[in-house]
């Protein structure tokens, strides 16, 4: 290969090679080279760490790992460091950990220790914890990361949905969701009666409990998106709030009590700046300081049962503790999904907007995976459920999800067809439906030739199939008046459909 002047250029060239060539030619050349050339060609080690995981054969993994392990004994520190960085990418294991710890014990220099720490952050286990207790050499960040990963593998922790949350007077709870749905969220809270609403802002309903409660009580509410306990507010001073202030909120007595009461297993959290992207350096800094204050609470980006979210607020930043439960207990019925599935809390809001009614005959003409029908059926009073969709796959999924939701005795019929053809079903004469509820296609992912015409047709079909008193509840991207005189607008609100503003509307069918 052509000569390369800099380590970076050489790396770029090596990184583009097929695995075979990199391993057979370049690694051999590196191994045979005299010390100075090895030093200059250290990029080979980095390239191996990148190209092998992408295209190397799995059966060669042990051989590659052994080669890197060998390099940990190279007399040249730089080569050792490159090998350390590459090892976790190949999938290092206990043997590699032992080699790295041996290196640590035999007196690595300060810079090398830093790199050893970074590698052990990723692959360290019990042996690293023991070594840290002995030597304390690698610092609190490695200790925290390794403790978290040992805790994760020993005993997967979980959020306790049914643990009583008592004696937390004044605890502020933030229910967050799509902008525009706040009033429906508020109505649902009032109907349940266990929480009082403190404040409503775009995309946020702040509540507090009226009596001891559980997380299950909160997840009995279906219209919000995510829930967070407010741990504190950090006032901004200058450009950003200091790491110490965030750390003391995360390690505060309130936080420790909530974590303790609601976690089974080790307490692990992921730290996220909600509106600011990754902020890796700030996350590291805050997490290390919080760990110094309370070493029982471990920062861990992987499979953590909790997130600590930092949200921008008017007077600084709000620090919230959010359970990360997957799947969301409210949607356990979702066996499968369609690409354009509705946001589940939106489907729940639409069902609430429609309201329960006895002997309901409900149709979703664009049922996809069936969320609106399921949410409506959950509210009770439904006698007949119809779903239709152009996609055969969606129809199968809607049927499966509906059964999994176990919603009782309503008769169901899911049919693959264009919504305009649904009215020719024998069991569906004109004026036989009491509710049409739907999230129609918006032409964003799959272009639709005449989208406005499709919405005009929805009105026409609804005017034909709804009984007087029946409701049409749907999301409408057009600012249009009902072209059907028998459909009277009851409510309209702008909602955020994930960065796209749309209107959630309800029409009432009147007798003509």
**Chain residues that interact with ligand SAM, rule: CB under 6 A:** 338, 340-342, 347, 365-369, 371-372, 388-391, 394, 418-419, 439, 441
Which structure tokens are listed for 182?
């706040």
Which residues, in sequence order, are bridge partners of residue 361?
384
- Looking at the Cβ atoms of 252 and 391, the one nearer to ligand SAM is 391
- Looking at the Cβ atoms of 52 and 419, the one nearer to ligand SAM is 419
Q: Distance (Å, rounded) from C-alpha 419 to C-alpha 365?
A: 5
Q: Smallest distance, Å, CB 404 to ligand SAM?
A: 14
Q: Smallest distance, Å, CB 340 to ligand SAM?
A: 4
Q: What is the largest CA-CA distance in the chain?
A: 95
- Looking at the Cβ atoms of 130 and 500, the one nearer to ligand SAM is 500
Q: Smallest distance, Å, CB 378 to ligand SAM?
A: 14
Q: Smallest distance, Å, CB 448 to ligand SAM?
A: 7
- Looking at the Cβ atoms of 276 and 420, the one nearer to ligand SAM is 420
Q: Distance (Å, rounded) from C-alpha 414 to C-alpha 510?
A: 27
If DSSP states are collapsed to H, E and C, what string results for 247-301? HHHHCCHHHHHHHHHHEECCEEEEEEECCCECCHHHHHHHHHHHHHHCCCEEECC
Q: Smallest distance, Å, CB 362 to ligand SAM?
A: 13
- Looking at the Cβ atoms of 248 and 439, the one nearer to ligand SAM is 439
Q: Smallest distance, Å, CB 444 to ligand SAM?
A: 9
- Looking at the Cβ atoms of 309 and 372, the one nearer to ligand SAM is 372
Those residues with Cβ within 8 angstroms of residue 25's Cβ, 6 or more apart along the chain or in another chain: none
- Do 386 and 413 touch, CB atoms closer than 8 A? yes
Q: Distance (Å, rounded) from C-alpha 162 to C-alpha 416?
A: 41
Whole-angstrom CA distances from 485 to 147, 292, 463, 482, 489 are 67, 68, 9, 7, 10
Q: Distance (Å, rounded) from C-alpha 230 to C-alpha 495?
A: 25
- Do 215 and 262 touch, CB atoms closer than 8 A? yes
- Looking at the Cβ atoms of 92 and 348, the one nearer to ligand SAM is 348
Q: Is the dihedral of CA 342, 345, 350, 355 positive or negative?
A: positive
Closest CA relative to residue 338, chosen from 295, 387, 384, 299: 387
Name the residue with the smallest CB distance to ligand SAM: 368
- Looking at the Cβ atoms of 101 and 374, the one nearer to ligand SAM is 374
- Looking at the Cβ atoms of 155 and 450, the one nearer to ligand SAM is 450
E strand or H helix at 37: helix 35-40
Q: Is the dihedral of CA 48, 53, 54, 59 positive or negative?
A: positive
Q: Smallest distance, Å, CB 140 to ligand SAM?
A: 46
Q: Smallest distance, Å, CB 419 to ligand SAM?
A: 4
- Do 297 and 209 touch, CB atoms closer than 8 A? no
Q: Smallest distance, Å, CB 125 to ligand SAM?
A: 42
């Amino acid at each position: 290969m052509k000569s390369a002047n800099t380590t970076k250029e050489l790396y770029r060239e090596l990184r583009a090679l097929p695995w075979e060539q990199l391993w057979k030619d370049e690694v051999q050349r590196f191994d045979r080279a005299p010390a100075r050339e090895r030093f200059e060609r250290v990029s080979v080690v980095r390239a191996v760490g990148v190209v092998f995981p992408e295209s190397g054969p799995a059966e060669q993994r042990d051989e590659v790992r052994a080669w890197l392990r060998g390099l940990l004994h190279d007399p040249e520190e730089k080569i050792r460091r490159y090998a350390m960085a590459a090892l976790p990418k190949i999938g290092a294991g206990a043997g590699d950990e032992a080699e790295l710890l041996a290196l640590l014990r035999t007196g690595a220099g300060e810079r090398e220790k830093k790199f050893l720490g970074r590698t052990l952050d990723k692959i360290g286990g019990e042996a690293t914890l023991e070594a840290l207790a002995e030597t304390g050499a690698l610092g609190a960040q490695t200790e925290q990361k390794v403790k978290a990963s040992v805790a994760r593998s020993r005993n997967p922790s979980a959020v306790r949905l049914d643990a009583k949350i008592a004696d937390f007077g004044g605890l502020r709870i933030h229910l967050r969701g799509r902008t525009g749905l706040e009033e429906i969220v508020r109505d649902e809270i009032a109907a349940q009666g266990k929480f009082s609403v403190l404040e409503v802002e775009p995309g946020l309903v702040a509540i507090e409990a009226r009596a001891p409660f559980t997380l299950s009580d909160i997840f009995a509410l279906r219209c919000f998106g995510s829930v967070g306990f407010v741990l504190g507010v950090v006032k901004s001073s200058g450009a950003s709030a200091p790491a110490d202030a965030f750390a003391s909120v995360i390690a505060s007595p309130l936080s420790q009590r909530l974590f303790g009461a609601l976690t089974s297993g080790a307490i692990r959290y992921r730290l996220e700046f909600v509106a600011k992207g990754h902020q890796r350096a700030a996350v590291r800094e805050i997490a290390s300081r919080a760990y110094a204050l309370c070493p029982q609470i471990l920062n861990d980006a992987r499979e953590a049962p909790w997130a600590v979210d930092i949200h921008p607020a008017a007077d600084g930043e709000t620090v919230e503790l959010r359970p990360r439960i997957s799947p969301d207990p409210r949607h356990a019925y979702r066996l499968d999904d369609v690409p354009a599935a509705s946001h589940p809390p939106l489907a729940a809001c639409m069902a609430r907007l429609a309201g329960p009614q006895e002997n309901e005959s409900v149709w979703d003409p664009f049922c996809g995976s069936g969320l609106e029908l399921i949410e409506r059926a959950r509210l009770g009073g439904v006698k007949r459920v119809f779903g239709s969709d152009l996609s055969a796959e969606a129809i199968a999924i809607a049927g499966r999800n509906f059964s999994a939701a176990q919603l009782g005795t309503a008769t169901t019929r899911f049919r693959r067809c264009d919504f305009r053809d649904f009215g020719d079903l024998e069991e569906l004469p004109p004026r036989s439906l009491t509710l049409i509820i739907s999230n129609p296609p918006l032409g964003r992912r799959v272009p639709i030739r005449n989208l406005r015409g499709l919405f005009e047709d929805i009105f026409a079909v609804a005017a034909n199939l709804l009984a007087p008193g029946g409701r049409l509840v749907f999301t409408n991207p057009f600012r249009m008046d009902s072209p059907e005189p028998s459909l009277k607008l009851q409510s309209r609100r702008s909602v955020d459909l994930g960065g796209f503003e749309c209107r959630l509307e309800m029409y009432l069918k009147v007798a003509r």
